[in-house]
Amino acid sequence: MSKTYSIAVIPGDGTGPEVVREARKVLDAAASKGGFKLAYTEFDFGGERYLKTGETLPDSAIDEFRKFDSMFLGAIGHPEVKPGILETGILLKIRFALDQYINLRPVKLYPNVDTPLKDKGPEDIDFVVIRENTGGIYTSIGGATRVGTPDEIATQLMVYDRRTVDRCLKYAFQLKKRRNALNPKYAAKPITLIHKRNVLTHCGDLWYRAFEEMGSKQYPELKRDYNHVDAANMWFVKNPEWFDVAVTENLFGDIITDLGAMIQGGLGVASGGNINPEGVSMFEPMGGSAPKYAGQNVINPMAAIGAAMMMLDALGESKSSRAVETSMMAAMKKMKSQAAGRMGYSTTEVGDMVASQI
Ligand code: IPM
Ligand code: MN
């Protein structure tokens, strides 16, 4: 009997459904080649549903999601919904409730993909950022008072506990070990902690000590490095080849991974995973709902296909995951650009190209 993986799919808003459709096409091709099955269950959470019913994501949905092997998200965000409602009510709620404590963001420039970095190529831009995904400022501990008056005060605290830091670092060190075994080019580079310990003397110190302790005691064979986040921003642009595995806290990770997306060729190709290594993970393209391109069949599905590739790897189907990547690379070679509307192909055609070569 072939194995069947159950996948909860949230196509979501804007171009979400279009890119999910293409990712599923590729997943199905990979499954039939790889001898396993994928059983999808679609959920209609997103802006449209919220506007109709006033509901973002009920707690009962979280209990449903727990039963799946994995989740796949298109995009959340609607021009008629005030910013913050869908983000916190759907995306962040899922991340927190399912304890998806790792945000895994590969920053890999594929051949024939344009980077805005002059004189940098695929051999220079090939690293992963591990962003802690449940703590920090995103816990939203704090408050506001005298709102709307000249004396208004607002606070939102960066909150970390040792356990949250340690479990994130453990994932990062283990990934670094796996990558080093894969490629001597990776092994030559350090694992880099990114923070701001020259100013954030409490949180930064916690992360730094935890990193040094775990690294020296449990992974002495791995080279370690540390960058302040502002400096890391410069090095991502000037010397991206210095990085292999970079690990950081939540908000810093949010910011530097958008920079990472740009140097790898833009939102059309950037994918991410919200991972609970012991539970249910969720994979998504980084691009957002791109309302101005919705319904035109011009959006690039490559980021969603990349997220599908990551999902297969997380499910343990690493051979199929690699087959998807090879096929993505072949399609990218033919495409004129990775930008929406300028690919030289429609959304559907890009999905067909990748799926047909698996
Ligand atoms: C991301 C997004 C989210 C975040 C938003 C939409 C809540 O920017 O996944 O990087 O800040 O984490
Ligand atoms: Mn972000």
| pLDDT for residue 350 is more than 90 | yes
Q: What is the pLDDT of residue 2?
A: 83
| pLDDT for residue 165 is more than 80 | yes
- What is the Cα–Cα distance from 79 to 199, expressed in whole angstroms? 37
pLDDT in tens, 237-261: 999 999 999 999 999 999 999 999 9
Closest residue by CA, ligand 1 atom 12: 254
Give the Å distances, CA to CA, from 282 to 66, 197, 247: 11, 31, 19
Mean pLDDT of the chain: 97
Q: Which atom of ligand 1 is nearest to the CA of 92?
A: 7
The verdict on the CB of residue 71 being under 6 Å from ligand 1 is: no
The mean per-residue pLDDT over the stretch 168-178 comes to: 98
User: Are residues 324 and 317 in contact, defined by beta-carbon separation less than 8 angstroms?
Assistant: no
| pLDDT for residue 145 is more than 70 | yes
| pLDDT bracket for residue 164 (50, 70, 90) | very high
Nearest to 101 by CA among 159, 169, 46, 45: 169
Q: What is the pLDDT of residue 157?
A: 98
The verdict on the CB of residue 137 being under 6 Å from ligand 1 is: no
pLDDT in tens, 272-325: 999 999 999 999 999 999 999 999 999 999 999 999 999 999 999 999 999 999
Q: What is the pLDDT of residue 114?
A: 97
Mutate to test the pocket of ligand 1, among 91, 93, 96 (most ligand atoms within 8 A of CB): 91
Q: What is the pLDDT of residue 277?
A: 97
Q: At which residue do the structure tokens 């990934």 appear?
A: 175
User: Are residues 261 and 286 in contact, defined by beta-carbon separation less than 8 angstroms?
Assistant: yes
Q: What is the pLDDT of residue 103?
A: 98
Cα of 334 to ligand 1 centre, how many Å? 31
Q: Which atom of ligand 1 is nearest to the CA of 250?
A: 12
| Closest ligand (CA of 87) | 1
Q: What is the pLDDT of residue 117?
A: 98
pLDDT in tens, 92-108: 999 999 999 999 999 99
Radius of gyration of the chain (CA): 20
User: Are residues 92 and 250 in contact, defined by beta-carbon separation less than 8 angstroms?
Assistant: no
Q: What is the pLDDT of residue 1?
A: 62
In this structure, the strands spanning 271-275 and 282-285 are antiparallel
Domains of the chain (ranges; CATH) run: 1-103+267-358 (3.40.718.10), 115-264 (3.40.718.10)
* 187 CB-near residues (< 8 Å, 6+ apart): 179, 180, 181
Sign of the CA dihedral with 267 first, then 350, 272, and 71 last: positive
Cα of 32 to ligand 2 centre, how many Å? 34
User: Are residues 332 and 268 in contact, defined by beta-carbon separation less than 8 angstroms?
Assistant: no
Q: What is the pLDDT of residue 198?
A: 98
User: Are residues 307 and 23 in contact, defined by beta-carbon separation less than 8 angstroms?
Assistant: yes
- Which residues keep their CB under 5 angstroms from ion ligand 2? 254
The verdict on the CB of residue 99 being under 6 Å from ligand 1 is: no
